[in-house]
Chains A and B, each alone.
Chain A
Amino acid sequence: MKYIEEFQDPALARRLLDDIHATVTRPWALMEVCGGQTHTIIRHGIDQLLPEQVELIHGPGCPVCVTPLEVIDKALEIASRPDVIFCSFGDMLRVPGTGRDLFQVRSEGGDVRVVYSPLDALRVAQENPQRQVVFFGIGFETTAPPNAMTVHQAKKLGIHNFSLLVSHVRVPPAIEAIMQSPSCRVQGFLAAGHVCSVMGVSEYPELAARHRVPIVVTGFEPLDILEGVRRAVRQLERGEHTVDNAYARAVRPEGNPAALAMLEDVFEVTDRAWRGIGVIPDSGWRLSARYRDFDAEHRFSVSGINTREPAECRSGEVLQGLLKPHECEAFGTLCTPRSPLGATMVSSEGACAAYYLYRRLELGTVPAAATTPQEASPVV
């Protein structure tokens, strides 16, 4: 496809790199918020092509990684019920709950199905009127509108055997929490382009001004990342801190008004726990009162489940940019995509998985093979 090919152009990348090298005079630490961007960076070695002074810190932008353990446990509990068909995106199958994962629930006889779209789950509900169909609704602002539309459709079409187990999260409060941490080293953000495709950029100017931190909306191709870094470094060198859109081909300042209206109708803002990080105020969505009937937590009364996270996994620090994955003692030994200790290793967008997949030649721990975490993960 033309966009992908053109935005991977090595000659242009070299020019952007040259410009970054020519601009930078001091050390700067930038955080790329989205796990998809982390993967582009690690896969193409972008962090190693940048000047030494520019450090990329990986952010918390992986929905699979930040879904709290207790939500996973609720999912496992619901998925184990004989009357339930539990539908989920494939990434969630191997995310460890307390003692097991959805993959194991399925091998024990649970009806767990992988869908590509939440609308597929709604179709399953239409086809199985005698069963309860539950969709695992996780994700950031990019995934929330599709899930919102699906609940809206369920209500409109009167499909009452469908419900959503909701654990949606929002990026701006996470940026706020990162900036408030006393150990925070982040001086600039590469904001997640696809989140902004939906939300627009209106949430960011206030954050940028208050924390005096440039926020550059950035895409996902190698050239996009380089351009995001280039613009952030330019601002930092000049002492500026504004919001800049380096992904204009997919991000309008106003976002997607139809999606925003649907979010407003179906969800309401709530405090959310982030796995490994803890509760961040106003950082998530839950179903609004009008759609409470479609809330799986209420329908299956699992709201009492509370769990503590295992101590050995340091993914909380990884998610906040305080630790690089390979600095975790378990990395590549006790913890691999085949037997993950934490969600950042199991998720294809997780930082630990990115390091494991693309940095193993350096580490010499495993032979290089063209596998993805998904391909590796179904092997028990």
Chain B
Amino acid sequence: MCLAVPGRVLDIGEKDGTRMATVDFGGVQKEVCLEYLPDLQVGEYAIVHVGFALQRLDEESARQTLALFEELGMLQEEFGDPWEQAAAQAGADSPWPFADGPFGGEATAPQHVQEEGRP
């Protein structure tokens, strides 16, 4: 229940004087209240919790984080332990969690998609 999930705004309308949207969560669509994010636009992403959009998902920040992670890898290659690098390369193609991880190559669906199907 405390889980909030990212979704994409499909359309925006009004109901009982309240700004509402249809939001798509990877295939599942729900009606979502926009009163806390009144300037959210169609096509944007937001974190949604129990039918309320609570915060815009900032694509620029997402990109920055991913870029930082990429950069970390480069720094690692430059200054890191060659043994660790070899291990990293060996594991680089394996699915999450890594083939040598605690559960072998067990595939897990993205949690949010499963959570969405919950009663």
Q: Give the size category of A's interface with B.
A: 35 or more
Q: Please determine whether A49 and B54 come into contact, CB atoms closer than 8 angstroms.
A: no
> Which residues of chain A (265-315) have a CB below 8 Å from chain B?
none
Contact with B along A16-34 (1 / 0, CB 8 A): 1011011000000000001
Chain A interface, DSSP helix/strand/loop, else mixed? helix
Contact with A along B62-75 (1 / 0, CB 8 A): 10111001101100
Q: Which of chain A's residues have a CB closer than 8 A to the CB of B91?
A: 10, 14
CA of A49 to CA of B102, assembled, Å? 8
Of A92, A250, A259, which contacts B36 at CB under 8 A? A259
Q: Please determine whether B54 and A194 come into contact, CB atoms closer than 8 angstroms.
A: yes
Q: Please determine whether B69 and A223 come into contact, CB atoms closer than 8 angstroms.
A: yes
Q: Report the nearest A residue to B115, measured CB to CB.
A: A348
A339 part of interface (Cβ distance < 8 Å): no
> Which residues of chain A (305-328) have a CB below 8 Å from chain B?
none
CA of A61 to CA of B1, assembled, Å? 11
- State how many residues of chain B have any CB contact under 8 Å with chain A: 63
> Which residues of chain A (177-210) have a CB below 8 Å from chain B?
194, 197-198
Q: Which of chain A's residues have a CB closer than 8 A to the CB of B42?
A: none
Q: Please determine whether A120 and B58 come into contact, CB atoms closer than 8 angstroms.
A: no
> Which residues of chain B (29-77) have a CB below 8 Å from chain A?
30-31, 33, 35-38, 45, 47, 49-52, 54-55, 57-59, 61-62, 64-66, 69-70, 72-73, 76
Q: Report the nearest A residue to B89, measured CB to CB.
A: A14
A90 part of interface (Cβ distance < 8 Å): yes
> Which residues of chain A (1-58) have a CB below 8 Å from chain B?
1, 3-16, 18-19, 21-22, 34-36, 39-40, 43-46, 48-49
Q: Please determine whether B111 and A39 come into contact, CB atoms closer than 8 angstroms.
A: yes
In the assembled complex, how far is the CB of residue A58 from the closest CB belonging to chain B, in whole angstroms? 14
Q: Quick one: given A10-B94, A153-B18, A197-B55, are A118 and B50 in contact (CB under 8 Å)?
A: yes
Q: Which of chain A's residues have a CB closer than 8 A to the CB of B93?
A: 11
A9-B69, A15-B69, A117-B52 known; 6 new pairs, CB 8 Å cut-off, are A8-B96, A18-B76, A142-B49, A143-B49, A149-B36, A222-B96
A-B contact pairs, 24 of them (CB 8 A): A3-B6, A6-B62, A10-B91, A13-B98, A15-B69, A22-B81, A40-B111, A45-B97, A45-B103, A116-B30, A116-B51, A117-B31, A117-B52, A145-B36, A149-B35, A194-B49, A222-B96, A227-B65, A248-B65, A249-B59, A249-B61, A249-B65, A256-B54, A372-B114
Residues of A within 8 A of B (CB): 1, 3-16, 18-19, 21-22, 34-36, 39-40, 43-46, 48-49, 61-64, 89-92, 114, 116-120, 139-140, 142-143, 145-146, 149, 153, 156-157, 194, 197-198, 220, 222-223, 227, 246, 248-252, 256, 258-259, 262, 347-349, 358, 361, 372, 374
